Structure 1
């Protein structure tokens, strides 16, 4: 597999890209005569939501930022969106790419059922993320620094903790092999670092690119 830096590291140090999702990741690959697939190059596409932060200060928007399925928790609030938000979304994409997409994506029937019960899809996704990657961190609440979202996140965190008590294996770190069979121990270690609920505790993009999974884990998946 090619080096994941892909010549894009310099770009990522200048911009945030609040629309990291599978549809925006372009992959160039080829098959050999034996049918083995080799990835040649990977790039981000669709930069209409990308922006450069002013004085490197996190974005505080009046609305959510990015695609609802792939947003970081702070992205759902629009408060405190920065480079760690991209890392969180990339962590979700890694889960999806390794076979765990069913745990992340709400299908049309689920969204309709939520709507019929007066629950927006965003709320269900936040609860799922708090369940998988929780417990809710005080650092996230401090980072968002918004009274309304403090209340919403605290409520979602309580729901997630009740579900975690009933099903401890719902925590990502404890997911069994049948949920996402290609998530190796190395991949899980990396994704846990990428999806920390506290943005200040997440791996940086440099730490992500230096993780041994890129040279070891991908070949064991």
Structure 2
């Protein structure tokens, strides 16, 4: 636990420094330009660029803090029966950048928090679509019923994972502009349901496979 806290503090310090350092540097530069005599001919252009940079870093810092707040305030699941097929299809319709193929599984209901699980699946599909866009591939999602619960599988035709050790580290992201929050939040939601979320490279094919496992009995959905 102590190691986890130390790692989190390092990440927090790193991200805060990444935003505050350019803000301070740009502020100092703009102040120097304003006090220079005679004023540079392109002063307005420099001011505009500097203010845009300050605004960009401030917004990034805001997203970072907002993401941290989400992790700290995750409420316990509000369980209710959900139709698994409807949940999967609804989340798949949200992703419009690449084709999402839904392979139907058994029509079952499962006790879970519908809002939280929808957020998890939307995050997984968004990540899969981001990867598929790099290669022009597609995304597939399906679900299976097991004796001890239900499993949702999301796979993509992207380039695959270069490394997996940082996937669930808060605020770590390999994507430009990424917050590093989506997967961490999704894992927390899965664990709050007593389940697991794992990501791995697809065996024998390029791309990634995400497995969301939720424990508990699933009932056949009544027509």
Structure-2-length-normalised TM-score: 0.29
Structure (1/2) with the larger helix percentage: 1
